Amino acid sequence: MNPPDPDWRPRADVGMLRTRAAVLQSARAFLSDRGLLEVDTPSLGEFGVTDPHIAGIPVRLSERPGREYFLQTSPEYAMKRLLAAGCPDLYQIGKVFRDGELGSRHQPEFTLAEWYRLGFSLDDMIDETCLFVASLFEAAGANAPDLPADRYRYTDVFNRSIGIDPLTADVTELRGAARQCVTGISDELARQLDADRNGWLDLLMSHVVIPGLTNNRLTIIHHYPAAQGALARLDPEDERFAERFEAFYNGIELANGYRELTDPEQQRARFASDRRRRAAANLADMRADERLLAALDHGLPDCSGVAVGLDRVLMCAVGAATIAAVIALPLAD
């Protein structure tokens, strides 16, 4: 008996594909009309990322046995190399890849719009990101989110939602808050997080703070604690905070942006910290991207950047229940 034919049909119908095409066209027009240069960097690279919360997808090449390459989780490092080499404001729209992400809001391959603006403040970048998201809603035939968006500092919204200060609370206090506010924390998850303070903060943010944001509103959370700065510079007025923001709509993260870190020694220290955290969590070690560090040594100009998940924006605009519904041929879940 022959096995049944596999389901070869697209998940998104022709109408959705037309809407998706309109959104992609609108995204390019928005950025190119503002004078940004479109670039195209590799999807396959020699380095992955050290961030313990991001899992890259390794690739082996028969021509170079014994060496590991990675599908890129973001074009960020490559685009910063271009900026350090003298490129003007630039953008890229393309596919990126992450392991460990397959579900109603995640696909391991997804479409990202990322751009960088020389001399932009964090507020400038937030404003432009909100306009960009609103324009994509309109391109999808939906009502754009009302602007200005709701804006909250990380510490304020965290304290309002949970009642503790994320800057001063220790691991015991964060663990206790998680046990009280989040249902279904397994013993295995608790063991994995253990003394990872940032891990407990992320759990509380994703399971308590973000679900409590106002529905059908674009919301910005900004000025994350310095320890969660990722590739953002520290706020020169208060170095307890990093100049980082994220945009959310109905509990779904749409964008992540920074006033970019340009100090190579701080970046080296953050990569080293990431690797220690990976070791503590029994994750595979990841080498720091030497070419990015060399570009920072050469000099990255003052800039801000942001990455926007276009599949998620379209999902929110059309009210789709899953991200797979707005992708022609998603990976089966």
Residue 9 CB-half CA count within 13 A: 7
Give the residue among 329, 325, 324 at the shortest CA–CA distance from 107. 324
72-95 residue pLDDT tens: 999 999 999 999 999 999 999 999
pLDDT of residue 5: 74
Say yes or no to pLDDT of 101 above 80. Answer: no
CA distances from 302 to 6, 175, 262, 263 (A): 51, 38, 7, 10
Give the residue among 166, 266, 170, 283 at the shortest CA–CA distance from 225. 166
Say yes or no to pLDDT of 332 above 80. Answer: no
What is the DSSP secondary-structure string of 234-272?
BPTT-TTEEEEEEEEETTEEEEEEEEB---HHHHHHHHH
Of 187 and 265, more confident: 265
Contact 59, 68 (CB under 8 A): yes
Say yes or no to pLDDT of 57 above 70. Answer: yes
Alpha helices by DSSP H, listed for the chain, are 14-33, 76-84, 122-139, 154-162, 171-181, 187-193, 197-204, 264-280, 290-298, 310-318
Average pLDDT for residues 96-103, to the nearest whole number?
90
pLDDT of residue 280: 85
Alpha helices by DSSP H, listed for 85-217, are 122-139, 154-162, 171-181, 187-193, 197-204
> Cα 233–51–231 angle (5° rounding)?
15
pLDDT of residue 333: 58
Say yes or no to pLDDT of 3 above 90. Answer: no
Identify the DSSP state of 9.
Answer: S
Highest mean pLDDT among 3-17, 35-49, 164-178 belongs to 35-49
Token digits of residue 233: 């510079």
Region of poorest pLDDT, from 55-59, 267-271, 280-284? 280-284
Token digits of residue 177: 């808050």
pLDDT of residue 138: 98
Give the residue among 99, 62, 94 at the shortest CA–CA distance from 79. 94
Distance in angstroms (rounded) separating the CA atoms of residues 300 and 42: 20
CA distances from 258 to 122, 186, 215, 230, 282 (A): 7, 33, 25, 9, 28
242-272 residue pLDDT tens: 999 999 999 999 999 999 999 999 999 999 9
| Superfamily grouping for domain 14-149+217-326 | Bira Bifunctional Protein; Domain 2 (3.30.930.10)
292-312 residue pLDDT tens: 999 999 999 999 999 999 999
Residues near 98 by Cβ (< 8 Å), separated by ≥ 6? 54, 55, 56, 57, 73, 106, 108, 110
Task: Read off the pLDDT band of 1 (50, 70, 90).
Answer: low
pLDDT of residue 132: 98
Give the residue among 149, 253, 254 at the shortest CA–CA distance from 209. 253
Contact 290, 94 (CB under 8 A): no
pLDDT of residue 282: 87
Token digits of residue 317: 């605009």
pLDDT of residue 187: 75
Contact 185, 202 (CB under 8 A): no
Average pLDDT for residues 100-120, to the nearest whole number?
94
Distance in angstroms (rounded) separating the CA atoms of residues 164 and 155: 9
Of 208 and 190, more confident: 208
pLDDT of residue 78: 98
Say yes or no to pLDDT of 193 above 70. Answer: yes
3-state helix, strand, coil in the chain (%, to 5): 40, 20, 40
